[in-house]
Amino acid sequence: MPKKYIVIAKTIGRKWFLILVFIIIIIVIYSRIAAIWMSGITLVLFILSYIPKLFFKNKIHKFMKKFYKIEDEIIARKFKKRIEIIRDELFELSQNQEKKKSLIVFLNKQYIFYHEETIAKFSEVYNKGFSEKEILDNLKEYKITTRAEIKIIKESLIKLNRLSDREISVKEHKEEQRFL
């Protein structure tokens, strides 16, 4: 069991903003100028508390760009963070993907990041009229292993209006391949 002073220190660390507001209220009674200074300092500290979160989000994004495909569990192990924290960050990153070239999807209770090269190759193969099995075979080098991944990528890209209509249908592509 943790020692009592450690528990108290952690509680103060979590509630620092409320403690400072309480101190400012007490100081207002005695000196208005000191309260204004304390309010300014508190506001600056509060704003500065968001900076590590921004750096962490950028660090995750740079790390993910090194891989064709990466899952949230691997990211959590790399950064030694709880999986819930990583999933929250990936959820936030996945909200505005219309203009981004990479893709983050939620499949089988986990977030998966696909690199922009993977998505470009997928779009190229999809537009040529390949079936799911042929797309899967062409994307093996990009670490895509299941048809479910192919389906979720296709659905996500269509939903985000990032996948154009096929140049040739699957049926026409199969007929073409049969006669070659």
Q: What is the pLDDT of residue 13?
A: 67
Among all chains, which residue has been given the structure tokens 């993910």? 64
Residues 40 and 105 occupy one common structural domain: no
Residues 75 and 157 occupy one common structural domain: yes
Residue 152 has pLDDT above 60, yes or no: yes
Residues 9 and 96 occupy one common structural domain: no
pLDDT (tens digit per residue) in 107-145: 999 999 999 999 999 998 888 888 888 889 988 898 898
The answer for residues whose C-beta is within 8 angstroms of residue 73's C-beta and 6 or more apart is: 83, 110
Residues 81 and 145 occupy one common structural domain: yes
Residues 44 and 75 occupy one common structural domain: no
Residue 144 lies in a domain: yes
Residues 161 and 81 occupy one common structural domain: yes
Distance, CA of 142 to CA of 122 (rounded, Å): 10
Between 48 and 156, the more confident residue is: 156
Among all chains, which residue has been given the structure tokens 């963070």? 81
Q: At 147, give phi and psi (nearest 5°).
A: -70, -30
Provide the whole-model pTM: 0.70
Please report how many Cα atoms fall inside a 13 Å half-sphere around the Cα of residue 90, on the Cβ side. 27
Return the closest-CA partner of residue 106 out of 155, 46, 50, 168. 155
pLDDT (tens digit per residue) in 154-174: 999 988 888 877 777 777 777
pLDDT (tens digit per residue) in 56-96: 888 998 999 999 999 999 999 999 989 999 999 899 888 88
Q: What is the DSSP string of 25-92?
A: HHHHHH-HHHHHHHHHHHHHHHHHTTHHHHHHHHHHHHHHTT-SEEEHHHHHHHHT--HHHHHHHHHH
* Structural domain boundaries enclosing 33: 4-49
In total, how many domains does the chain have?
Answer: 2
Residue 1 has pLDDT above 60, yes or no: no
In terms of phi and psi (left: phi > 0; alpha: psi -120 to 50; beta: otherwise), the region of 88 is alpha
